[in-house]
Amino acid sequence: MITSDLRQAIVEAAERIRPVVTRPPLQRSNRLSKRYGANLLLKREDLQEVRSFKIRGAYNKMAALSAPERERGVVCASAGNHAQGVAFACAALGIRATIFMPEITPTQKIDRVKHFGGDFVDVRLVGDSYDDSSQAAGAYCAEKSAVFVHPFDDLLTIAGQGTIGRELAEEVGAELDVVVAGIGGGGLISGVAAALKAVKPAVRVIGAEPTGSPSMHESIRQGRVVTLDRVDTFVDGAAVKRVGDLTFDICRRLLERVVLVPEGKVCTTVIELYQNEGIIAEPAGALAVAALDEIADEIRGRTVVCILSGGNNDILRYPEIMERSLVHQGRKHYFIVEFAQKPGQLRQFVDRALGPTDDIVRFEYMKKTNKERGAALVGIELKSRADLEPLLRRMAEIQLNCRPLESEELLYEYLI
- What is the domain partition of the chain in residue ranges? 2-53+154-323, 55-148, 330-415
* Cα 179 from Cα 288, distance rounded (Å): 9
Which of 170, 102, 110 has the alpha carbon at shortest distance from 132?
A: 102
Question: Given this model, what pLDDT does residue 411 score?
Answer: 73
- The C-alpha atoms of residue 87 and residue 309 are separated, in whole angstroms, by 18
pLDDT (0 to 100) of residue 52: 96
Q: How far from 120 is each of 89, 96, 331, CA to CA, in Å?
A: 10, 5, 47
The pLDDT score that the predictor gives to residue 405 is 87
Q: Would you place residue 269 in the very low, low, confident or very high pLDDT band (cuts 50, 70, 90)? A: very high
Q: 55-148 and 330-415 share one CATH topology?
A: no
Q: What pTM was estimated for this model as a whole?
A: 0.91
Region 16-25: mean pLDDT is: 94
- Domain 2-53+154-323: which topology? Rossmann fold (3.40.50)
CB 167 within 8 Å of CB 44: no
pLDDT tens-digit series, residues 360-385: 999 988 666 666 778 888 999 999 99
Options 3.30.70.260, 3.40.228.10, 3.30.565.10, 3.30.70.1450; CATH for 330-415 is 3.30.70.260
What are the catalytic residues? Answer: 54, 309
Q: Is the pLDDT of residue 11 over 70?
A: yes
Q: Which architecture characterizes domain 55-148 according to CATH?
A: 3-Layer(aba) Sandwich (3.40)
Burial string for 65-79 (b: 16+ CB within 10 Å, else e) reads beeeebebbbbbbbb
Average pLDDT over residues 324-343: 89
Q: In what order do the strands lie in the sheet with 204-210?
A: 26-28, 39-44, 303-308, 178-182, 204-210, 257-261
